[in-house]
Structure 1
Amino acid sequence: MDLSPFESNNSVSCRLASQIPDVCRTEDCCLGIDEAGRGPVLGPMVYGICFCPLSKKEELKALKVADSKTLTEEERENLFEKLDESKSYVGWALQILSPNTISTSMLQRTKYNLNALSHDTAIGLVQFALDSGVQLKEVFVDTVGPAEKYEEKLSKLFPGIEVTVRPKADSLFPIVSAASICAKVARDRAVKGWGFAEDLGDVDTDYGSGYPNDPKTKAWMAKYLDPVFGYPQFVRFSWSTAQTLMDSKGVTVHWDDDEEDGEKAAQRLNNKSMLSYFGASSKGNAENTTHQPHRFFTERRLRSIDTL
């Protein structure tokens, strides 16, 4: 698994994929979807798909894939190698969502919550498999939100494909277990080899599991909080854990046009047209208009003009 495309710019989302086995383009296939790193405040979230022909389900099961959360890191790495060695009939693809992508999505003006981001990422990966020529007939998904609604949504988007959404799907269906392993291995490697774009000096990489309740994670976040600039992009700053620390330890920002000044300025305008505020006076500057200009203009020595 080559993570260099993501490591070259870990501030954005990145898709990685194996070669598509020829047999997956000629035989009916099943596909599993799972994610790793949904809850941590540190590092990326990785969505993974794994697919194989229906005729190879038993061979996949014989690899003894299991829910990645029940396996040690060494066991996951070994199972991923087995999946990679089975590339004649097993394929996979990953979508790595950087912490920066997650945070900016969740905090943008039009709210884009984690469930919607997860759904869209999963849908994009299924479409990627179809566009790559994989003959999908069955899709198995671990639920995000209400299982029935998610299943109905996917079934409408992909008619002709039998969609099954179940809680704990990674422990019920080997193809989802395989996807879980691919996603978890990718996240672990990305976190372990994280390249900090910020100048943090000899950065401490002992940040624990990345989950908000982990004492090591808490200690690392307290250590690397800059009171002015906040956190490096390794941190999901949309998480309440990060926001609480920034609110309590960060420098308070005072804006030029605070609420009180805004109210006074509104009173001075006396409901005049905004265009009239910028209109030229007899002498052509803001100081000679009939109203007192806002301090934003006077402090910056700005004047209205009527000719260029």
Structure 2
Amino acid sequence: MDLSPFEADNSVSCRLVSEIPEVCKTEDCCLGIDEAGRGPVLGPMVYGICFCPLSKKEELKDMKVADSKTLTEAERENLFEKLVEAKSYVGWALQILSPNTISTCMLRRTKYNLNALSHDTAIDLVQYALDSGVQLKEIYVDTVGPADKYEVKLSQRFPGIQVTVRPKADSLFPVVSAASICAKVARDRVVKGWNFAEDLGEVDTDYGSGYPNDPKTKAWLLKYLDPVFGYPQFVRFSWSTAQTLMDSKAVNVHWDDDEEDGEKAAQRQNNKSMLSYFSVSSGGNNQNATHQAHRFFTERRLKSLNTL
């Protein structure tokens, strides 16, 4: 698994794929979908698909693939290598959703929650398989949200393909277990080798599980919270855990807005207006400086919105 495309810029999402087995282009196939890293406040979420011919279902089962959460890291790595060795009939694809992508999506002006992001990612991966020539006849999915509604949504999106959506599908269908293993191995490797773009010095990589209730994770979040710039992009800043810490430990900032007098609004909140950081040279025009500052922040806001 070559992670270098994502490691080159882990602020954006990235798709990694295996070769498409020729047999998957000529025989009817099944495909499983699962994810890894939905709950953690640290690191990416990885969506994975795995597919193989219907005639190879038993061989996939004989590999003893299982829900990745029930396996040790060594067992997952071993099973992933078995899937790679079976490349003559097993294919996979992964979508690595960066922490920055997740938080930016969730903080859009128009509502776009984690379930919607998960559904869209899964649909894109299925469409990738179809566009690559995989002859899909069956899709098995570990549910996100109500299983019946998700099943109807996927069935309508992919007519002619039998769709099965179940809770704990990764423990019921080997092809979903295989997708779960691919996704979990990728996430573990990415987290372990995370390249921090920020200048943090020698980073303590003992972040624990990454889940909000993990004491090690909480301690790491406190340690690496910059009072002005917030968190490195390794952190999902939209998570309530991160937001609560920023609200209580970071510097309060009032963002000046053209619709309100920024200086007066900041004073009411016992805060400092961002405009106050723009100095005016002797004999300069304060009004022009204010206009320049407003233009600066407007351009920043527009640039931010254009990335959503």
TM-score of the two chains, using structure 1 as the length reference: 0.85
Name 2:33's counterpart in structure 1.
33
Equivalent position amino acid for 2:64 in 1: K
| Structure 2 residue matching 1:51: 3-state secondary structure | strand
* Correspondence for 2:187: 187
User: How far has the Cα of 1:62 moved from its partner?
Assistant: 0.4
C-alpha distance in structure 1 between counterparts of 2:62 and 2:213, whole Å? 37
The residue aligned with 1:123 is 123
> How far 1:254 moved relative to its partner?
3.0
* Cα distance in 2 for residues equivalent to 1:300 and 1:154: 52
Quick check: 1:257–1:296 contact (8 Å CA) kept in 2? no
Q: Which runs of 5+ in 1 are unaligned?
A: 266-294, 303-308
Pairs aligned (count)? 273
1:74 aligns with 2:67: no
Q: CA deviation at 1:255?
A: 3.8
Q: CA offsets, 1:230-261, max 9 Å, x none?
A: 00000000000000000000101134459874
State the Cα deviation string for residues 159-196 of structure 1 (Å, max 9, x = none).
11000000000000000000000000000000000000
Deviation at 1:110, TM superposition (A): 1.3
Aligned counterparts, 1:1-308, within 5 A: 1-256=1-256, 261=261, 297=287, 300=290
Deviation per residue, 1:74-99 (Å, 9 max, x gap):
00000000000000000000000000
* Letter of the 1:45 counterpart: M
- The alignment's C-alpha RMSD in Å is 2.0
* d(CA) in 2 for partners of 1:9, 1:260: 37
Question: Compared with structure 1, are the counterparts of its residues 19 and 255 closer, same or farther at alpha carbon in structure 2 (3 Å cutoff)?
Answer: closer
Distance 1:54 1:257 in 2: 59
Question: Is there any run of 5+ residues in structure 2 with no aligned partner, and where?
Answer: 266-284, 293-308
Q: Distance in 2 between matches of 1:211 and 1:8?
A: 25
How has the CA–CA distance of structure 1 residues 14 and 260 changed in structure 2, closer, same or farther, with 3 Å as cutoff?
Answer: closer
Structure 1 residue 111: Cα displacement: 1.8
Alpha-carbon separation, structure 2, partners of 1:97 and 1:226: 24
Paired residue type of 1:187: R
Conserved? CA contact 1:137–1:161, under 8 Å:
yes
Q: Give the 3 Å change call, closer, same or farther, for CA 152–260 of structure 1 in structure 2.
A: closer
Counterpart of 1:237 in structure 2: which amino acid? F
Query: Secondary structure of 2:32's match?
Result: strand
Identity of aligned residues (%): 86
Distance 2:288 2:10 in 1: 43
Matches of 2:260 and 2:56, distance apart in 1: 69
Q: Provide closer, same or farther for how the CA distance between residues 255 and 136 of structure 1 changes in structure 2, counting only shifts above 3 A.
A: closer
Amino acid at match of 1:300: T
**Against the structure 1 CA distance between its residues 231 and 22, is the aligned structure 2 distance closer, same or farther, given a 3 Å change threshold?**
same
CA distance in 1, matches of 2:135, 2:171: 24
Distance in structure 2 (CA, Å) of the matches to 1:56 and 1:17: 20
Q: 1:202 to 1:30 in 2, by over 3 A?
A: same
SS at match of 1:300: helix
Deviation at 1:109, TM superposition (A): 1.2
Inter-partner Cα distance in structure 2 for 1:83 and 1:179? 10
CA distance in 2, matches of 1:6, 1:260: 41
